[in-house]
Structure 1
Amino acid sequence: MKCVLIRHGKTAGNLAGRYIGCRTDEPLCPEGIAQLRMGRYPAVERVFASPLRRCRETARLLYPAMEMEIVEDFRECDFGAFEGLSYADLNGRADYQAWLDSGGELPFPGGESKAEFSRRCVRAFAACVARAGVSSAAFVVHGGTIMAILEKFAQPRGAYYDFQVGNGQGYVLNLPGGLYRRLETEQPC
Structure 2
Amino acid sequence: MESINGVELSLYRHGVTKENLEKVYIGWTDVEVAEEGIELLNKTKLYRPEADRIIVSDLKRCVQSADFLFPEDKKVYHKGLREINFGSWEGRKADELAKREDFSAWLKNPEEMHPENGESFAEFSERIEAAWEMIREWSYQDGIEKIAILSHGGPIRKLLVALAPEKKSFWDWKPLHGQGMTLYWADREAFRRGERCTSLSAVPIMEKSNG
Q: What 5-or-longer segments of structure 2 have no aligned partner?
A: 1-6, 186-190
Which residue does 2:59 correspond to in 1? 52
Pick aligned residue for 1:121 from 123, 128, 132: 128
Output the CA distance in 2 between the equivalents of 1:125 and 1:32: 26
After TM superposition, give the deviation of residue 164 of structure 1 in Å: 2.3
Name the residue aligned to 1:168.
Answer: 178
| Contact 2:111–2:122 (Cα < 8 Å) also in 1 | no
* Secondary structure in structure 2 of the residue aligned to 1:5: strand
The question of 1:186 aligning with 2:205 is answered: yes
Task: Look up the equivalent residue of 1:35 and give its one-letter code.
Answer: L
Provide the residue aligned with 2:42 in structure 1: 37
Shift in Å at residue 171 of structure 1? 1.9
Residue 90 of structure 1: CA displacement?
Answer: 1.8
Shift in Å at residue 117 of structure 1?
0.6
Q: What's the TM-score once normalised by structure 1's chain length?
A: 0.92
Aligned position for 1:140: 150
The counterpart of 1:2, out of the listed 8, 12, 36, is 8
Kindly provide the amino acid, as one letter, of the partner of residue 28 in structure 1. Answer: V
Residue 154 of structure 1 pairs with residue 164 of structure 2: yes
2:152 aligned partner, one-letter code = H
**Is contact 2:41-2:179 (8 Å) kept?**
no
Q: What is the distance in 1 between the residues matched to 2:160 and 2:112?
A: 17
User: Cα offset for 1:149?
Assistant: 1.2
Between the aligned residues of both structures, percent identity stands at 31
Structure-2 separation of matches of 1:93 and 1:180:
42
Structure-2 change in CA distance of 1:126 and 1:180 (3 Å):
farther
Q: Distance in 2 between matches of 1:121 and 1:77?
A: 10
What residue is the counterpart of 1:25 in the other structure?
30
- The Cα shift of 1:180 comes to 4.3
Q: Runs of 4+ in structure 1 displaced over 4 angstroms?
A: none
State the number of aligned residues: 188
Q: How does 1:75-86 map to 2 (within 5 A)?
A: 75-86=82-93
